[in-house]
Structure 1
Amino acid sequence: MNLREKKDGIGTIASGAKEGPGTVMAAMSGGVDSSVCALLLQEAGYEVVGATMVLRDGTPAESVAKDEDGASCGSSADVEDARTVCRRLGVDHYVFDLRHRFGEAVVDRFCDDYLCGQTPNPCIDCNRYLKFEALQKARREMGLDYVATGHYARRAWDEDAGRWKLLRACDAAKDQSYVLYHLTQDTLAHMLFPLGELTKGEVRELARAHGFVTAEKPESQDICFVPDGDYAGFIEGHRGAAAAFEPGDIVNREGRVLGEHGGLVHYTIGQRKGIGVAAPEPLYVLEKDLTANRLVVGFKDETLSRGVVACDVNLIGGESFAGSRAVQVKTHYRQRPVAAIVEMSGDDELTITFDEPQRSAAPGQSAVLYDGDEVLGGGAIVRAF
């Protein structure tokens, strides 16, 4: 399939919902992916409006002026890049001030979870509460049919089951379905993922061909609100001093003291570098004991677990299942799916047992279930076993 055929394929993206293109809010971050997302929608015949979320304080409150539709206009670099692309496409552009919601649902949760010894993934919360919850609310208020994002993922209508399916992207290297496991049938019915069949190289090629200012814009590799990667420093500045910053003992599984840590907030489960203890082979973080303020470490073979338990469960099909089921699962974003058996061990609990022991996942990360390319759902990991 060549690039033109892939682009033309977006016209079938609304099958199962309504005939022909409709109206769509394209979520535009000011990056290349969302720029091409809007382009493909327009070329497929959709009536497009661009929407950019102001999430952080880089755009001063006084520069955010409300317009008659209740949207707002900002002037940060990302907002301006998104607006420039919209001008080039000849579509309207709206900016929504969601700083308070972002702080509450993403930043505060990130800090609180870290201080409780977990390792959260704020990108999942941002997608869940901002890109989908907040933008879908805005879509409904504006009377539009869909929200579209530049995620590398796909959706498909299952005629036999009468429901929507979320699928992995065709480009496995860019697949982002892991962070979308929280989507529901209602949300999927009003979602479009135009980039699901493209590679990153093809997306940049389209952006260059249309003269977008975002064509060569680099991708962010860090959490957007902690660009220097110093999570502990950010949390300390945001939340102030806490027990998680106090020094304590580094111990092995038997409780033998090996050294001193600089505060549990500085470490994550599975971490190898930066522990600061000499050993005949590399040591890994196995556990953070908040009660005793101890960092438990061990060798590589001690990092393996037989499975995980997850809560805050979402199953995309909308229905629970009885008994056990063979699936593939990812407990880390970059991990290849591995074979496992899953069962509902409670009303809001999954027990996932790996076919082969895997590197322990940190509490707070997500376990996402797959059946081939289909994303079945997932939940937040509470413990490994």
Structure 2
Amino acid sequence: MTAEVPRPALRPALRPARMWPRDVLKVGVVGLRTRPMRAFLSALGIAIGISAMVAVVGISSSSRADLDRTLSELGTNLLTVSPGTTMTGEQARLPVEAEAMVGRIAPVESVSAIGRVADADVYRTGKIPKAETNGIATYAVRTGLPATVGVEVRSGTWLNAATASYPATVLGAITAQRLGIGHAGPDTQVMVGGVWFTVVGILAPTPLAPELDTAALVGWPVAESRLGFDGRPTVVYTRSRDAQVEAVAQVLGATANPEAPNEVDVSRPSDALAAKQAADAAFTGLLLGVGGVALLVGGVGVANTMVISVLERRGEIGLRRSLGATRGQIRTQFLAESLLLSALGGVAGALLGVAVTAGYVTSVSWSVVIPVWAVLGGVGATLVIGVLAGLYPAIRASRLSPTEALTQP
């Protein structure tokens, strides 16, 4: 009987060293530091795309916020009534009683009107040729117009019960500019329809009633007594309760001109601004598409950098594999480099986009509005780009065998 020879105990297989997040960050940084110029140019492509996207969203959001603020201040319950065309294609006319009849509609909170004064051209002096009207119209106005339309006086005062009966005028913003008048005062006069009128006020721009910007506004009584005004309103402005705006719009035409309601145009000026806002949103989408293309180009640059990095660092890859690095660790290393490269470009681009937005918005006196989702989404998009751009190079690097990587030049 033979004794059994004891077998030596088997040693447990050595496990590869685990790469902690700090180690992954270190190897990723080393890879970028060895080729700083290439890394900078690749990150710059990402930064341009992100900054463009953030700036477009920021500027558009600031513009829309300013427009929303303007609409909120002026109100969206303003409706206007103006003459349309007759069945024969001629210009229709509103009846003299149109303003009073519109004021009887129950939900209407305030009403005011202006009337075009024919043959009442406006001149700075009496020596200007009659043909050079400069596109300025003369309107007879009610004293309650500012409360209904929301006009603001930039210089001087608005017409009151006294000045509306005397040769006094308030100039629109563009009218004052064309006439070269910077401020109102008792010594500032213009000729309206051959009569000298004192400029008592100058308006600020009126977005919801642009016809006032290019007009000289005179009181209703003096227009009838001195300028031959026939008393017919050209535009009737109404303010209604918000919940009843649509209902009022449906009856305005028939109320303003019961004999010919089809010859009346009813409009909501705020809809034009809302349409402008929609157009700005569409334009923003276009610009975002351009920013997305720039971001894609930056991602291609990162992918190109990482592929070339794999080709140039075969010796390093082979040495690491010979020392026990696994394929997963090699993949992690190159993915980390790609992510770091994209993250640097993303953060730099987001900061640049914020700076561009703040600079532009401040220059046009808007409030700076930069959505948080735009900044975070931009940085997040760069991380996705980094993963996609570094995935193929990382897989390719991990598939290199140690002997192949060390023997190839």
The structure carrying a bigger strand percent of its residues is: 1
TM above 0.5, one fold? no
The structure carrying a bigger helix percent of its residues is: 2
Q: Which has the higher contact order (CA 8 A, sep 6+)?
A: 2
After TM superposition, the score normalised by the length of structure 1 is: 0.22
After TM superposition, the score normalised by the length of structure 2 is: 0.21
